[in-house]
Structure formats: structure tokens, C-alpha cells
Amino acid sequence: MSDSDEEEGPAVPLGDGEAVEGAPPARVASRLHYAIGKSEVIRREGEATIRTPEGPRELADVLEESDAVYFDTRQAFLNAVRDVVGTGPVPTAGDRDAG
């Protein structure tokens, strides 16, 4: 890579909008090893704040609402989280303050 490539910036432009609180559930999922039980996920990552369509939530609270007790794959974990929090746009800090 040449010096001029480094100065061009990111390949995907980043927005100038307001920050979004919490981590994407997929980022938390990438820190885990599968297969894993729900109690172990809560022990390791339960205090992590994740992004949801309703605003940031603590992962332990989300998982407590799930019937799943074991995640054999990363996708099983993400599906369990999605079943609880749903899907949709994640509000920015400004969106929540305005409502």
C-alpha cells in the first residue's frame, strides 16, 4: 500500500450524525465461543449494553426475557436476541431526547 492510499480515508464514508449508544449485538456475539449456555453469556457479557430499536439495553436483561438456555451457534444467539428486541432502525441519542 502506498502512502497516498493511506491518506484517502475510509473506503466507506462515515456519517456525521449523532452517536448510537451501545454495541451491535453481532459485536458481542463475535466475542463469544460456541456452543455456550445462556448463564455463561450473562456471566461474561451480561453487563454489555446493546443497541435495540427501543434504545440501549443491557444484554443480561434481554437474555432473561428469552426462552433459550443454550446457543449452539452464533446465529442461534443473534436469533434469540432478535426475538426479544425485534428488528428495525436503532435510534440515535438525539432521537431519544426529542421523543
* Percent helix / strand / coil, the chain, rounded to 5: 45, 10, 45
Q: How many structural domains compose the chain?
A: 1
Q: Pull the grid cell for residue 5.
A: 492510499
Assess if residue 36 is contained within a domain.
Answer: yes
* pLDDT given at position 21: 86
29-57 pLDDT tens trace: 999 999 999 999 999 999 999 999 999 99
Mean pLDDT of the chain: 85
- Among 1-5, 25-29, 89-93, the minimum mean pLDDT is found in 1-5
Assess if residue 12 is contained within a domain.
Answer: no
pLDDT at 94 over 60: yes
Assess if residue 52 is contained within a domain.
Answer: yes
Residue ranges making up the domain that contains 25: 20-98
Q: CA–CA distance from 41 to each of 34, 38, 54, 59 (Å)?
A: 10, 5, 22, 9
Q: Pull the grid cell for residue 33.
A: 465461543
67-76 pLDDT tens trace: 999 999 999 9
Q: Which pTM was predicted?
A: 0.76
